Amino acid sequence: MAQTISYITGSQLLPLKRLPNIAIIDVRDDERSYDGHIAGSLHYASGTFTDKISNLIQDVKGKDTLVFHCALSQVRGPTCARRLAYHLEELKEDTGIKNILVLERGFNGWEASGRPVCRCTDIPCKGESA
């Protein structure tokens, strides 16, 4: 059975993002480097996402909820979330990932609502929000 992709609002995500079981996956391409990002998010650019799915699964070991986003979460974020869901279905092994979500309104909506943004250049981001 295919995994369902649900949406989460920035208001819902804000108090949850520090929980140890959640990973935020930023699939924007170049704009992450100059627009900032959600603190602690992992960067898997949409242009190379499919090639790096195995790396992502390794990077999120121990997480059961993944929240995808791009700039607006209208195309790249939902597409990458679906690609992961299909990959997990084909993999047929338990990765521990139970929830795949997409951040409504994406990074642009997150930032426009005054939510914290990190401007570090660390990979992976360990930064706190500015």
Active-site entry in 70, 80, 118, 125: 70
| Contact indicator for 118, 125 with CB cutoff of 8 Å | yes
**DSSP state letters, 30-95:** THHHHH-B-TT-EE--GGGTGGGHHHHHHHTTT--EEEEE-SSSSSHHHHHHHHHHHHHHHH-S--
120 is catalytic: no
Active site members: 70
